[in-house]
Structure 1
Amino acid sequence: MKISQRIFLLILAISSISTLTNFLLTRHQGKLLHSNSEYLLAQTVIQSLRRALVQDVIDGNKLRVSELLHSIIQNNNPIEFLYVTTDNHRIFAHSFTQGFPRYLLHQPKQYSNPNGVQLIHKYQLQQGLVYEYNEPLIEGLDFNLHIGINQTYITKILKKNTQTILLISFILMLLFLVIAFYWGKQITHPLTVLTKQIQRFAAGKSVDFTQQGRVDPEIRQLAIAFQTAAKERQQAISELQEREQNLSITLNSIGDAVITTDASGFVSRMNPIAETLTGWSFQEAKGKLLKSIFPIINASTREPIENPVEKVLATGETVYLSNHTTLIAKDGSEYQIADSAAPILNEQGHIFGMVLVFNDVTEQYRLREQTKITQQALYNKEKEQREILNSMVNAVISIDKDNTILSFNKAAEDLFGYNFREVQGKNISLIISESINNKENTNKVDTLFSVTETTAGLGKDVNAQHKNKTSFPVRIFISDLKADIDDKQQFIISCIDLTLIKQQEEQLRRSQKMDALGKLTGGIAHDYNNILGIIMGYAEQISFHINDTERIKKYIDNINHAAKRGSSLTKKLLSFSRHKQAERHVIDINKLLLEQQEMLSKTLTANIILNLELDNNLWPVELDSNDLEDSLINLAINAMHAMNSKGQLTIVTRNEQLNTVDAEHMDMKAGDYVTISITDSGTGMDATTKEKIFDPFYTTKGKLGTGLGLSQVYGFVERSHGKIKVYSEPGHGSRFVLYFPKSPHTITSKTTDQSINKINTQGSETILVVDDEQAMIDLACEIFNNQGYRVLTASDGQQALKLLETENVHLVISDVIMPKMDGYQLATIIQKRYPHIKIQMVSGFADERHKRMINNSLLHQNMLHKPYTAKILLQRIRILLDDKTIPSPSVKQSILILDDDEDVLQLYKINLERLGYTVLLATTGEQALRIYKDAINNSLVIDIVISDLSIPGSYSGRDIAYQIKKMSPAVKIIVASGNSEAEEMKNPLAFGFDVAMEKDFNRDKIKNLLDKLLSS
């Protein structure tokens, strides 16, 4: 704004304020005068009326007072009303002709409080604004006089005076403005001339501030000062232009990008490198905020980074950006940059700008990131290899060509007892102590293996040494690695601890020996028992008919005695081979030892002292007492040989409770055990002998021993679910400890034969004898015919079933081992078809088929073992026939269902289980074959297989039928399909099936079909 305008406005403001102030003061004075005149009028009227009204008021002459008040109102004056009230505001008299108005019936308000008249109310009436005043008529008299004065006339006068004052004030203000305008022009003209010269100077034109004419001295001094400043400025501009040119040359020569800003962060300079990287020209970027042309983000997170200009300008410190900074150019291109920002300070240290220096490190960043990725990948690979090595079960060691250990995984630490730091840099011979034949090259890895072993990947069994100096067997595999970057050859050695494997191999070898011996003895026993049965049977029959010939009877008794000895031998053979089911009873071991004490003493001879130390509260155990007797005799005989016919044998019984830790250490289950400890004072055994003593045929007695005694003991203890432990050292004797689980049952005594001997063995029932040995059949016929029985015979199961269809049979005696159909299969069919027929199973050899009949308690427990006497046979049969309480044992038959539809399988399962069958399910051919093979291996019988036609996988329904028939020709196979038109459904026999069945899941139909199939 111009100075002249400012002066004009200043005078205008002063004159306006003065005029307004004068107006307000005059108006205020008029109001005060008006107010005072009102009070004066009211006071004058009241004083005038007081004398005229007092007496009438005292006399109570209301009418006279009212007339007087009304007469005053009639005169042309501003008084609107008059009335008199008592102190309790009751109206005594008034000037109104038409009644006292209601608006006057109020509680008085006091606006002023002078000593006399009081303004108590204001009314806006049609006549105008009315003020009401009152004052007591006289002191001591309880009456007040009220007067209402109209303000209209007075207000008109006041308004007229106000207008006059305003007019005068306006005229004076105009006069002041004219004077101010003229005076301002005179003052500002020289300044206007100076301003124009300054504008020319700013535009770079020549100026002369001294050409002012007549001016005030102050203006002239100002013009001279401006002239001097103009000269100095022109000189500074010349110098600045020169410096600017030098600075531009310098900036453009710098290899890094440079941007400068002012103190607010706006771009002031920019070199070509910065233009190239940002994509902005200097002309485009000049004056813009730095952050608008320099957007930066984190290269890893892609998140925006705080622009350095703000931090530099705020703190005054140099700022360096991170190595992961990405600059986004104007066209979207991205550059990895390294930059720094620093403040530009003046001589006083104040910030007046900032300089940003940055350069393109995209290629370096790419190489660095690639290096980091490569290093991370290498680290991850090494970590993965370490984790793989440490997770491997086998010990893995890496060595160089000089056998120096380079790495050692966790399994190796566990195997050898060293941690990696202890073996790092050490020779492999520290832990692998294999003797090396090549004495000239004992430290080289290639002496551990031949070339053939290495290339073929074959392992080598060597001795390894633990940190605790113990030696143990390991199998090592070695392979060479490609030479590393330093051309150093390395080798990888994998070590497998053979300790457990060697033990298992030894156990397997022992088990195989036992199994081979068992099969041998089992086969012998089967035939031998049949022979013995024939001898015993016919010898017994002869004795019945030639009692008169004493010598022949003696011979027959000798035959019987020999046969019984043979029978006892076969029992021992069968027991040893584990093919005979132990006749286990709950017994008292102490009682058995006391009963056998005399026999054991005779076995040991008089030179060896037998001591028994028996626990008085010994727990009962469940085992075969005959086997225990044989085991004690075998142990006693071995002890006698070890003591060279002189010494002491101590047998101790104890109750022992094994906790979890002790049981695991002894390879047993935790629980209560009864122990029998047999300790001798003999020569003892070394470790090699102790490992082999339970092997069949192993003996240290040469031709004097058979090597079967301790094997029999071992087999007996295993069958009794116990354990045997051996403790021995050369020169310190031996101790055998037998552990038997405590039995939860009480001890039972064997029944005597007295009641059995009284049984009448004669009968008239029909008995069917089934045996593949004709001599045994003939013997049975002889025995039963002599006692009055009707006897039928059959040589196999099929023949027996045909006889049962036509004959009324009371009891069937069947051998277990027979061709085509064994005794248990025959018994199963008989139980199903003829539940009233009693069955007696007999066998000279109990093979694996006995296991699958364990659940059929009656068939299994009532087994009659060959050889048997005619007396025992007749008594057993008579008891069985006479016992009406013995139920016909039932066998739950098994069916294998093969179908890929889960719903179909469940329907089969529900229906067949309700019919009483055990159901096995398979969804693929492979699974079905696996189930069937497992059943065979576990000696379980699957009676029927029901197979769908279309099966997913490698096998069809036909293939399954073929494979199962190949394993078990007698098994029944049903083909089941919803497609009744399939060839297999029309002619099942042609495709390996026994019968076809549609999938309608009618339980009655299924039952009839299965019954028919099982009875065929």
Structure 2
Amino acid sequence: MVAMTQPPDRSPNFQLLFESISDYAIYMLDPDGRVTSWNRAATQMKGYSADEIRDQPFSRFFTLEDRRAGLPEKLLATALQDGRADAEGWRVRKDGSRFWAQATVHPVRNEDGEFLGFAKVTRDMTQQRESQQALLESERKFRLLVEGVVDYAIYMLDVNGTVTNWNRGAERIKGYQAQEIIGRHFSTFYTPEDRQAGLPARTLATATREKRFEGEGWRMRKDGSRFWASVVIDAICDDDGRHIGFAKITRDISERRAAETALAQSERQFRLLVSSVVDYALFMLDPNGIVTNWNAGAQKIKGYTAEEIVGQHMSRFYTEGDRAAGVPLRALSTATEQGRFESEGWRVRKDGTLFWASVVIDAIRDETGKLIGFAKITRDVTDKRNAQLDLQRAQEQLAQAQKMEALGQLTGGVAHDFNNLLMVVSGQAQLLRRRVGEDPRAQRALDAIEMSARRGEDLTRHLLSFARRQRLQPVSVALAERMAGFKELVSTSLPPTVNLVVDLSPALWPVKVDVSELELALLNLAVNARDAMPDGGVLSMVGENVTFDGGPGEQDLTGDFVAVSVSDTGVGIPPDILPKVFDPFFTTKEVSKGTGLGLSQVYGFGQQSGGRVTVRSELGVGTSFTLYLPRTRVTPKAARPVEKAADAEVTSAVILVVEDNPEVAEVAAGLLEQLGHKVRVVGAAAAALGALQDGDPPDLVFSDVVMAGEMDGIALARRLREQHPGLPVLLATGYSQAAERLGDEFPILRKPYKLNELSRAVNAVLNGPTQPNDGKLVAFDAARRARAARRKRTG
């Protein structure tokens, strides 16, 4: 082995040159790779002095992994075989630090061609590599951003219009895989008529001349279908200003164009539509949430230009409350842990205004899985949210209406049987009253029975009012004229600690309502308000004229209404209880303080009158119920004193009672007999028709409406009107949906009835009406004379 401690040329000039080079480490190796010479630059670069490194293997400059891989030996072998070996990689200094080296190894031979060793030149390229890596990292992040976008087709064209790359958004929108389209001309996406007209070439010419082309038009997908595209083409130039291609962005806006066409084609309508189109804010964040880039959609939605917002933390888009609660940091944390964060919430524009945003944050990672930032997409969905809230309110109103309707069906269904029970109890009490004589204990007991029956009757009346099955007798009413009566009625139920204020102006429109049910509704509201003010307060009853056009929040009302508001200054109703206040039997009072049917009656009365009732309440402030009553164009009649009936009392008549409930039939017969009438009882409509054929017809048929069998009381009454036109008919019912639709076709007595009510009804029917009635009723005496004449002719 020939040892070399310095270059072969020992001239002073060469030695001076060898030592003066400072950017390159130049040294010699013997054939085994041991250092034989060392210049000053090698000492500066690698940290070893000439004495420390001489005779040491040059492999010590390599990393442990490279030594294990045999890289030093491979370099020497390559240099010896090829005459030269070039390499780049990490090298190790004396202090253990690493630097990126660019090295060349040459074999050295003497004049006779004898192999003497190797000459090695090494250069520190760490700074150049870091700059190059930073550039590559920036390009990679940009590439990840572009590839992550799926709502936009983003791709490059060369100067001739040939596709050179392709992102996922382009694949989704246009249908081509990258391998299918790269290398083809972008005119493939244009319609045949646009290609024939030379549109692709003109767009590139415009982009070349003006550095940008922007337009809209029909484009073609791979499957031949068309979509309306928004297109932007930007000319791309290198650092020397030389044109090297185009960047093209395409967006499918078919839905937007369809909406524009549907609204109108005018410029003004187009601008309005564009202003309402939901665009996307697309921008990047670094791992700490700092905005690193900004697109035009973000500027449009949030109001910031790129210069204003890049470098700022994304938390500035959040409300002050969300920032204080740590919402922005939790969003980034969730995206980091789960790869994605998605939510909706209020966001703040530059001008301070709020909008409801749909936000998606995707974590962006490199090939090794390291988090390098986030892609953030924000969409303004304020209008969509408002529509969803309106739909939710409509669904809640529908559910409430369905619940009320179901409860109404239930309460209406039990009313008939309940009133029959009350009829038996009340009727038997009335029959017993004459039998017990003057016994005070018996009289008190009968008073208690009748009082309970009346309370049960009121209970049923409230149920029927809620169920909208109560037979109303609406008349045209001027509320102002009845103000004194209303005030007196309500005052009787109030303690001295409650101040009553009534303001029903004469300017209020007339309404058509059942006055007794209206008074009952106002009384129920007053009692409810009184109980809400145990320590006293103010109860006000105020009326105003309102007109609804069917818009949102108007209870589905349309037209003119008089709104009567009954308000108190009481404790208020909790929000969780407020939706239940109109439910039958729902009450927060003690058991002895109410039945829970007062507000149910108000609700049913408002519905059945063609209006509504609403409630507003605030805890500690008070509650206000507003009853909307429909306006009538009929002028109210002046109130007249009630005149006594001029009809003569009928002392004795033959009455056929038709009732399928034996207990009720027994009570009805007993009460009629107590009035002095002769009574025959049958249990069905068919039996009643048979009884009329078999013997003399009665003076009156008194029938229940609801009966078992094919024919109910109404059908029986109509059959009797056809077969026996002069025979009076009186119907009775506790409740019947059929009777509800009957109107004034036949007189109806409501169960449970009292003896005096039965007497008046029988006398009225037998004596006939004082006004014409289309032949539905005939006078009792005339009917008797007609029947006597028929018997004489057939006798």
Aligned counterpart for 2:254 among listed residues 348, 371, 384 = 384
How far off is 1:610 after superposition?
Answer: 1.8
Q: In structure 2, what is the equivalent of residue 570 of structure 1?
A: 460
% identical equivalent positions: 26
- Cα distance in 2, alignment partners of residues 408 and 711 from structure 1: 58
Contiguous gaps of at least 5 residues in structure 2: 1-191, 200-217, 230-250, 264-272, 286-290, 363-374, 778-795
- Cα distance in 2, alignment partners of residues 397 and 698 from structure 1: 50
Which structure ranks higher in relative contact order (CA pairs < 8 Å, sequence separation ≥ 6)?
Answer: 2
**Is residue 770–residue 793 contact of structure 1 (8 Å, CA) maintained in 2?**
yes
Aligned counterpart for 2:602 among listed residues 699, 713, 717 = 713
Q: In structure 2, what is the equivalent of residue 173 of structure 1?
A: none
Aligned counterpart for 2:661 among listed residues 747, 770, 773 = 773
Contiguous gaps of at least 5 residues in structure 1: 1-298, 302-321, 325-369, 451-459, 481-487, 891-1016
- Cα distance in 2, alignment partners of residues 448 and 522 from structure 1: 55
Counterpart check, 1:878 vs 2:768: no
Q: In structure 2, what is the equivalent of residue 791 of structure 1?
A: 679
Partner amino acid, structure 2, of 1:561: M
- Cα distance in 1, alignment partners of residues 640 and 406 from structure 2: 34
**Is residue 355–residue 380 contact of structure 2 (8 Å, CA) maintained in 1?**
no
- Cα distance in 2, alignment partners of residues 551 and 755 from structure 1: 36
**Is residue 402–residue 443 contact of structure 1 (8 Å, CA) maintained in 2?**
no
How far off is 1:563 after superposition?
Answer: 2.2
Partner amino acid, structure 2, of 1:607: T
How far off is 1:695 after superposition?
Answer: 4.9
Aligned length: 496
- Cα distance in 1, alignment partners of residues 685 and 479 from structure 2: 44
Moved more, 515-524 or 698-707: 698-707
Aligned counterpart for 2:649 among listed residues 739, 756, 760 = 760
Partner amino acid, structure 2, of 1:535: V
Aligned counterpart for 1:813 among listed residues 702, 717, 734 = 702
1:218-617 → structure 2 map (5 Å cutoff)? 377-379=226-228, 382-387=252-257, 441-443=333-335, 497-547=387-437, 549=439, 551-590=441-480, 592-598=482-488, 600-616=490-506
Secondary structure, aligned partner of 1:754: coil
Q: In structure 2, what is the equivalent of residue 1014 of structure 1?
A: none
Q: In structure 2, what is the equivalent of residue 857 of structure 1?
A: 744
**Is residue 817–residue 843 contact of structure 1 (8 Å, CA) maintained in 2?**
yes
Aligned counterpart for 1:628 among listed residues 518, 536, 547 = 518
Partner amino acid, structure 2, of 1:825: A
Partner amino acid, structure 2, of 1:872: E
- Cα distance in 2, alignment partners of residues 423 and 795 from structure 1: 86
- Cα distance in 2, alignment partners of residues 726 and 621 from structure 1: 21
Cα deviations across residues 479-537 of structure 1 (Å, max 9, x unaligned)?
Answer: x9xxxxxxx99999996743233323332343344334434433443222112212222
Change (3 A) 1:449 1:875: farther
1:646-665 → structure 2 map (5 Å cutoff)? 646-654=536-544, 656=545, 658=547, 660=549
Cα deviations across residues 298-334 of structure 1 (Å, max 9, x unaligned)?
Answer: x989xxxxxxxxxxxxxxxxxxxx979xxxxxxxxxx
How far off is 1:866 after superposition?
Answer: 0.2
Partner amino acid, structure 2, of 1:580: Q
**Is residue 397–residue 408 contact of structure 1 (8 Å, CA) maintained in 2?**
no
Secondary structure, aligned partner of 1:814: strand
Change (3 A) 1:846 1:603: same
Q: In structure 2, what is the equivalent of residue 265 of structure 1?
A: none
Change (3 A) 1:820 1:443: farther
Moved more, 375-384 or 721-730: 375-384
Q: TM-score, normalization: structure 2?
A: 0.50
Partner amino acid, structure 2, of 1:584: P
- Cα distance in 1, alignment partners of residues 767 and 443 from structure 2: 33
**Is residue 611–residue 629 contact of structure 2 (8 Å, CA) maintained in 1?**
yes
Q: In structure 2, what is the equivalent of residue 971 of structure 1?
A: none
How far off is 1:580 after superposition?
Answer: 1.4
Q: In structure 2, what is the equivalent of residue 803 of structure 1?
A: 691
C-alpha RMSD over aligned residues: 5.6
Cα deviations across residues 541-591 of structure 1 (Å, max 9, x unaligned)?
Answer: 233445455553454344333322322222122212222122323334345
- Cα distance in 2, alignment partners of residues 688 and 648 from structure 1: 25
- Cα distance in 2, alignment partners of residues 868 and 664 from structure 1: 45
**Is residue 759–residue 875 contact of structure 1 (8 Å, CA) maintained in 2?**
no
Secondary structure, aligned partner of 2:745: helix
Moved more, 822-831 or 373-382: 373-382
Larger radius of gyration: 1
- Cα distance in 1, alignment partners of residues 332 and 635 from structure 2: 71
How far off is 1:774 after superposition?
Answer: 0.9
Change (3 A) 1:748 1:762: farther
Counterpart check, 1:867 vs 2:755: no
Q: In structure 1, what is the equivalent of residue 627 of structure 2?
A: 738
How far off is 1:797 after superposition?
Answer: 3.0
Q: In structure 1, what is the equivalent of residue 734 of structure 2?
A: 844
How far off is 1:867 after superposition?
Answer: 0.3
Secondary structure, aligned partner of 1:820: coil
Partner amino acid, structure 2, of 1:720: S
1:846-995 → structure 2 map (5 Å cutoff)? 846-847=736-737, 849-851=738-740, 853-854=741-742, 856-859=743-746, 862-883=747-768, 885-888=772-775
Q: TM-score, normalization: structure 1?
A: 0.40
- Cα distance in 2, alignment partners of residues 323 and 463 from structure 1: 47
Change (3 A) 1:733 1:633: same
**Is residue 441–residue 447 contact of structure 1 (8 Å, CA) maintained in 2?**
no
- Cα distance in 2, alignment partners of residues 421 and 492 from structure 1: 10
**Is residue 283–residue 295 contact of structure 2 (8 Å, CA) maintained in 1?**
no
**Is residue 605–residue 645 contact of structure 1 (8 Å, CA) maintained in 2?**
no
Partner amino acid, structure 2, of 1:782: G
Secondary structure, aligned partner of 2:625: strand
Secondary structure, aligned partner of 1:877: helix
Q: In structure 1, what is the equivalent of residue 566 of structure 2?
A: 678
How far off is 1:385 after superposition?
Answer: 4.0
- Cα distance in 2, alignment partners of residues 786 and 397 from structure 1: 85
Change (3 A) 1:768 1:598: same
Change (3 A) 1:701 1:547: closer
**Is residue 529–residue 567 contact of structure 1 (8 Å, CA) maintained in 2?**
yes
Change (3 A) 1:770 1:436: farther
Going by fraction, where is helix more abundant, 1 or 2?
A: 1
Secondary structure, aligned partner of 1:875: helix
